[in-house]
Amino acid sequence: MKMLARTLTRMETEEMSVADARKQFADILNHAAVRGRITYITNRGRRIAAVVPVPIAEAAEPAQGGPG
């Protein structure tokens, strides 16, 4: 968990409205995958979702007992 905390402190972040996110979806995905950027999606100025790199999402999931 310490490694995740260190990684998060160096993460690049951005906020974007739902309308802008729709227009730039491919770029948002690319920035998450290649640059490790977290993009917060906002609605009326309130964060409602985030696009995050896979390692961050997987680290946030509870431990799984395996497939199926």
Q: What are 28-47's pLDDT values in tens digits?
A: 999 999 999 999 999 999 99
pLDDT band at 62 (very low <50, low <70, confident <90, very high): confident
Residue 28 has which token pair? 């948002």
- The contacts found for 9-14 with CB under 8 angstroms, 24 or more apart, are 11/36, 11/37, 11/38, 11/56, 12/36, 12/37, 12/38, 13/37, 13/38, 13/39, 13/40, 14/38, 14/39, 14/40
pLDDT at 5 over 90: no
Percent residues over pLDDT 90 in the chain: 71
Q: If DSSP codes are grouped into helix, strand and coil, which group holds residue 50? A: strand
pLDDT value at position 19?
98
* Domains located in the chain, CATH noted: 2-60 (3.40.1620.10)
pLDDT band at 18 (very low <50, low <70, confident <90, very high): very high
- Cα torsion angle, 27, 31, 32, 33, sign: positive
pLDDT value at position 55?
94
